[in-house]
């Protein structure tokens, strides 16, 4: 009988211990989920100081938790303190060596510390874990581009675009790599695709300059007031003063700006080599279209002029001669 009682006691003890272990695991799982949700909340809000204040005591309580260390690293980076971030992200990597995200952010931390060799090594380790890690491919490409390793950067940007065909940094910097490699035809195609998707992006103006430097003026930068606006060139149907659809879209962008900035006026200058009459009709067509589509823009705010000669444009020490073109820019009062 004593043996049976002892056996029952052992069984109950084992069940209790197992139950406690299961409960502890469940509690830790809930804690991790809570930390993840709250940590991401602070990151999404950009409230890094509040995140750091909330997570610092938790890291002190659970110093061996990789995710807590990861979030602390992100918060320190967000407050521009990469030196403080480094030990946290290193701890996260040490505790969770198979996590590609932690390796990636280790690389970002080294980038902030201006240690490009260690930055590259961290991205490469992230890609060893996950070859399709989009951010690691992208940032390793940036690292290679900064080093002048244009062919390797191009390969990585292509890999990034295979994962996300519209990743803007990869699209633009792919064109930069191609320009450096003097592959202008491919560069133009790459810039055109970027401008089609991101015409209002900060790098769009540089993209237009790259095209113009290579002799492609299908896009132009127009100085309208304090802003430089990249737009498709104002073009017409052959031999006429009829605007193309893309030209109308560009003029609508200018019309919207002039409607809001009532103190601005612009010059509309048309060039047609050997045909002043056609040049005049085109300048007036631009003026009439904008004033008709945007009644707030008085006709006198668009000053037309025309020339029967090419427009000469200097870019990077070269002069390009456009036999037919329209230039629109702010009129100085």
Domain count, the chain: 2
Q: State the sign of the Cα–Cα–Cα–Cα dihedral 116, 117, 118, 122.
A: positive
Domain boundary among the residues 172, 189, 216 is at: 216
Residue 28 has pLDDT above 50, yes or no: yes
Residue 304 sits in a domain of what CATH number? 3.30.1330.60
Residue 137 has pLDDT above 80, yes or no: yes
Residue 333 has pLDDT above 60, yes or no: no
Percent of the chain predicted with pLDDT > 90? 85
Closest CA to 210 of 236, 230, 237, 239: 230
Query: Cα(92)–Cα(109) distance, rounded to whole angstroms?
Result: 13
Residues 255 and 287 in one domain: yes
pTM: 0.85
Residues 255 and 210 in one domain: no
Q: Mean pLDDT, to the nearest integer, of 5-24? A: 44
Tell me how crowded residue 134 is: count the other CB atoms within 10 A of its CB. 17
Domain boundary among the residues 186, 216, 246 is at: 216
Residues 186 and 241 in one domain: no
Residue 210 sits in a domain of what CATH number? 1.25.40.10
Tokens describing residue 319: 């002069």
Closest CA to 160 of 145, 149, 170, 175: 170
Residues 204 and 246 in one domain: no
Sequence-ordered list of residues with C-beta below 8 angstroms from that of 331, at least 6 positions apart, any chain: 264, 265, 266, 267, 301, 303
Q: Report pLDDT digits (tens) over 255-264.
A: 999 999 999 9
Domain that holds residue 137: 132-216
- Looking at residue 115, the DSSP 8-state letter turns out to be -
β-strands 302-307, 266-272 pairing: parallel
Query: Cα(258)–Cα(265) distance, rounded to whole angstroms?
Result: 7
User: Residue 96, exposed/middle/buried by CB under 10 A (0-12, 13-18, 19+)?
Assistant: middle
pLDDT band at residue 39, thresholds of 50, 70 and 90?
confident
Residues 195 and 245 in one domain: no
**Taking the CA of residue 10 as centre, how many other CA atoms within 13 Å lie in the half-sphere pointing to its CB?**
6
């Amino acid at each position: 009988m004593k043996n049976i009682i002892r056996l029952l006691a052992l069984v109950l003890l084992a069940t209790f211990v197992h139950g406690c272990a299961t409960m502890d695991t469940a509690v830790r799982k809930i804690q991790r989920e809570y930390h993840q949700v709250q940590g991401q909340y602070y990151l999404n809000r950009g409230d890094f100081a509040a995140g750091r204040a909330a997570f610092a005591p938790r890291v002190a309580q659970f110093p061996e938790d990789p995710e807590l260390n990861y979030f602390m690293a992100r918060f320190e980076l967000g407050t521009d303190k990469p030196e403080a971030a480094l030990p946290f992200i290193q701890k996260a990597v040490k505790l969770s060596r198979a996590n590609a995200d932690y390796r990636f952010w280790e690389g970002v931390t080294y980038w902030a510390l201006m240690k490009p060799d260690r930055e590259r090594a961290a991205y490469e380790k992230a890609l060893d874990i996950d070859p399709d890690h989009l951010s690691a491919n992208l940032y390793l490409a940036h690292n290679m581009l900064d080093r002048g390793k244009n062919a390797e950067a191009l390969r990585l940007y292509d890999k990034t675009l295979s994962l996300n065909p519209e990743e803007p940094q990869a699209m633009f910097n792919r064109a930069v790599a191609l320009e450096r490699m003097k592959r202008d035809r491919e560069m133009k195609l790459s810039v055109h695709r970027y401008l089609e998707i991101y015409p209002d992006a900060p790098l769009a103006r540089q993209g237009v300059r790259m095209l113009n430097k290579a002799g492609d003026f299908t896009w132009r930068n127009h100085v309208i007031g304090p802003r430089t606006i990249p737009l498709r060139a104002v073009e017409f149907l052959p031999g006429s003063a009829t605007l193309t659809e893309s030209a109308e879209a560009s003029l609508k962008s200018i019309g919207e700006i002039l409607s809001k900035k009532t103190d601005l006026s612009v010059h509309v200058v048309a060039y047609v080599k050997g045909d002043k009459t056609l040049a005049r009709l085109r300048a007036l067509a631009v003026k009439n279209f904008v004033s008709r589509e945007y009644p707030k823009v008085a006709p006198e705010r668009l000053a037309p002029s025309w020339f029967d000669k090419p427009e000469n444009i200097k870019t990077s020490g070269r002069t390009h001669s456009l036999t037919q073109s329209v230039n629109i820019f702010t009129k100085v009062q």
